[in-house]
Structure 1
Amino acid sequence: MTAPERFILIDDNEADNVFHEIMIRRAGFKGEVLVFESGIEALTYLKSDPLTIPTCIYLDINMPLMDGFEFALEATPLLAGKPTVVLVMLTSSGSPKDRDRVGEIPVIQGFVTKPLLVDAVRDMLQRD
């Protein structure tokens, strides 16, 4: 995937979303940042988006109604085979069980422990 032109944050914690958007902007990103506070809302959006813009999705694990793993499984048909999209778990969970489960879902391409920091965003922006 080339460097993202859009970031999507999916996290039920508003304060985390605000902080993570600030880190994305501090990393020098000038493009679109979309924020969803539920996996259900984000999934609805993705179903209507052609997913042609290089996009990085940061996804929280622990959310009500639909957790990050459920989201990833539901989104797999939409994201599989889309080289323009990178899905990364962004979570406060340091659980080895969660990290192992991430490895079992091919559409998830990374695991980052909160908080998201500028250096991690810059690494994502330098992909080519």
Structure 2
Amino acid sequence: MELQKLHLMLADDDSDDCEFFQEAVDEISEKCNLTIVNNGVELMKFLESETANLPHIIFLDLNMPRKSGMECMAEIKASARLDHIPIIVYSTSLDQAVVNELYQLGALHYIQKPAEFTSIKKVIEKALILFKDAKLPSRSKEHFIIQP
């Protein structure tokens, strides 16, 4: 898969999930930079302090210490400087009420964290393809949940 240089950000407190995500991104393309933060407070500090290197996409875990992914998403979408950044929720649960709420809040996609590395790689690659594919609508309920 050929990509122009993309700056991806992962906000996740699980170190194993972060490591697998990094390995998957490295295998998908050398043309992606990944920044990892381990909680919602770190994410918001990074986004508020960064002026030139904002991420192209944020992969956001919901259940993090100090500030949840849901709280971060609400803050990002309320900020005129940050609201254009697509957010892909990357969480272990798949509660339909939460999924619907996230769609209403403006998340681009929802990924339930896969258990196997090959599936992790597949869903990240699908997310990047959907992000880059100009033929698909930028945000649709039909393509909201990404599965391996």
TM-score (norm 2): 0.73
Count of residue correspondences: 123
1:31–1:3 CA distance, 2 compared to 1 (3 A): closer
1:16–1:96 CA distance, 2 compared to 1 (3 A): same
Report matched runs for 1:1-128 at 5 Å.
5-50=6-51, 55-76=56-77, 77=79, 78-80=81-83, 82=84, 85-106=85-106, 108-115=107-114, 117-126=120-129, 127-128=132-133
1:110–1:89 CA distance, 2 compared to 1 (3 A): same
**Alpha-carbon offset, residue 53 of structure 1:** 5.6
Q: Which has the larger radius of gyration?
A: 2
Calculate the aligned-residue CA RMSD, in Å: 2.2
The superposition leaves residues 14-45 of structure 1 with CA deviations (integer Å, 9 ceiling, x where unpaired) of 11111111111111243321110011111111
Tell me the amino acid that sits aligned with residue 103 of structure 1. Answer: Y
Runs (4 or more) in structure 1 with deviation over 6 Å come to none
Which of structures 1 and 2 has the larger relative contact order (alpha carbons within 8 angstroms, sep 6+)?
Answer: 1
Tell me the amino acid that sits aligned with residue 96 of structure 1. Answer: Q
Unaligned runs of 5+ in 2: 134-148
Tell me the amino acid that sits aligned with residue 33 of structure 1. Answer: L
Cα distance in 2 between the residues matched to 1:53 and 1:64:
23
The superposition leaves residues 61-101 of structure 1 with CA deviations (integer Å, 9 ceiling, x where unpaired) of 11122111001011221422x2xx32100000111121111
Unaligned runs of 5+ in 1: none
Cα distance in 2 between the residues matched to 1:43 and 1:111:
20
1:14–1:94 CA distance, 2 compared to 1 (3 A): same
**Alpha-carbon offset, residue 125 of structure 1:** 3.4
